[in-house]
Structure 1
Amino acid sequence: MRATVKRILATRIPLKRPEARPGKVRTRLTSSGWGFFGLVFCAFLMSVNFSNNLIFAMTFLLAAIAMVGWYHTRANVGGLAVADWRSEPVFAGQSAVYRLPVENRSKNNRHGLLVTARGSVHGAEKHLLAGETAELTLERPAPRRGRLKPAPACIRSCFPLGIFQARMVTGQLPECLVYPAQTGDQPLPARPLGRQAHLVEEAGTYTDMRRYSPGDPLARIHWKAMARFDELYTKEFDGGQGRPALWLRWEDAGAGGTEQKLSQLCRWVLEAHKQNREYGLELPGTRIEPANAESHLQNCLRALALHDEPEQAV
Structure 2
Amino acid sequence: MLSAFSAALQRRFRNWVNRRIRPARTVTLGQRNLFIFPSASGWAYIFTLLLLWVLGTNYENSLILGLAFLLLSVFVVAILHTYHNLAALRLTLGEVKPVFVGERAAFRVRIQCKAGSGKGQVLNVGWRNEPCISLSLTGDEQDVELWAQSDRRGWLHPGRLKLESVFPLGILRCWTWLDLDAKALVYPRPIASEQAPWADAEGELDAHFQRAGSDDFVGLESYQPGQSLRRIAWKQFARGQGLMLKQFAQSEGQAQALDWHFFEGMDTENRLSRLCHWVLYLDQRGLPFSLALPGQVIPMGQGDSHRDRCLTRLALYGLETRSAD
Q: TM-score range by the shorter chain?
A: 0.7 to 0.9
The amino acid across from 1:276 in the alignment is G
Q: Which moved more, 1:94-103 or 1:192-201?
A: 192-201
Task: Tell me how large the CA RMSD over aligned residues is.
Answer: 3.2
Structure 1 length as normaliser, TM-score?
0.73
1:170-189 matches, within 5 Å, as 170-189=178-197
Map 1:255-274 onto structure 2 (within 5 A). 255-274=265-284
Q: How has the CA–CA distance of structure 1 residues 139 and 45 changed in structure 2, closer, same or farther, with 3 Å as cutoff? A: same
Please report the TM-score for the alignment, with normalisation by the length of structure 2: 0.70
> Is contact 1:281-1:289 (8 Å) kept?
yes
Structure 1 residues 1-314: aligned runs within 5 Å: 21=28, 23-24=30-31, 25-108=34-117, 109-122=119-132, 124-131=133-140, 133-149=141-157, 151-168=159-176, 170-189=178-197, 191-192=205-206, 194-200=208-214, 203-204=217-218, 240-241=249-250, 243-253=253-263, 255-312=265-322
CA shift for structure 1 position 312: 4.3
2:186 partner letter: V
Per-residue Cα deviation, 1:158-202 (whole angstroms, up to 9, x for no partner): 212222122356443333222111234435446335131514386
1:57-82 per-position Cα deviation (integer Å, ceiling 9, x unaligned): 33233323323332222121112233
Q: CA deviation at 1:154?
A: 4.5
Distance 1:171 1:19 in 2: 9
**CA deviation after TM superposition for structure 1 residue 22, in Å:** 5.8
Q: 1:21, 1:244 → 2: CA distance?
A: 53
Give the corresponding residue for 1:233.
none
Report how far residue 302 of structure 1 moved: 0.8
The count of residues paired between Structure 1 and Structure 2 equals 267
Q: Which runs of 5+ in 1 are unaligned?
A: 1-17, 207-214, 218-235
Relative to structure 1, the CA distance from residue 205 to residue 303 in structure 2 (aligned partners, 3 Å threshold; closer, same or farther) is: closer
Q: Distance in 2 between matches of 1:113 and 1:30?
A: 15
Relative distance call for 1:280 and 1:204 in structure 2 (3 A) is closer
Q: Residue 119 of structure 1 aligns to which amino acid in structure 2?
A: N
- Deviations along 1:238-258, whole A, 9 cap, x unmatched? x52361011222122354311
- CA contact 1:197–1:245 (8 Å) conserved in 2: no
Is residue 121–residue 139 contact of structure 1 (8 Å, CA) maintained in 2?
Answer: no
Q: How far has the Cα of 1:303 moved from its partner? A: 0.6
Letter in 2 for 1:77: L
Distance in 2 of aligned mates of 1:216 and 1:293: 4
* Contact 1:243-1:277 at 8 Å conserved across structures: yes
| Letter in structure 1 aligned against 2:41 | S
The Cα offsets for residues 180-237 of structure 1, whole Å up to 9 and x where unpaired, read as 112344354463351315143863469xxxxxxxx999xxxxxxxxxxxxxxxxxx97
102-111 vs 289-298, which deviates more?
102-111
Q: Measure the CA separation in 1 of the matches of 2:101 and 2:70.
A: 54
Could you say if the C-alpha distance between residues 292 and 201 of structure 1 is closer, same or farther in structure 2, counting changes exceeding 3 Å? farther
Comparing 242-251 with 78-87, which one deviates more in the overlay? Answer: 78-87
Cα distance in structure 2, aligned partners of 1:200 and 1:276: 8
Following TM superposition, by how much is the alpha carbon of 1:299 offset from its aligned partner in structure 2, in angstroms?
A: 0.7
Identity across aligned pairs (percent)? Answer: 26
Q: Give the residue type in structure 1 aligned to 2:272.
A: L
Deviations 1:10-63 (A, max 9, x none): xxxxxxxx9884644332222332232123222222222222334323323332
Instruction: Report the Cα distance in structure 1 between the residues aligned to 2:92 and 2:86, rounded to whole angstroms.
Output: 15
Structure 1 residues 101, 293: CA separation in 2 closer, same or farther (over 3 Å shift)?
Answer: same
CA distance in 2 between counterparts of 1:197 and 1:115 reads 54
Following superposition, which runs of at least 4 residues in structure 1 exceed 6 angstroms of deviation? none
What amino acid sits opposite 1:198 in the alignment? A
C-alpha displacement at 1:150, in angstroms?
6.9
Conservation of the 8 A alpha-carbon contact between 1:253 and 1:265: no
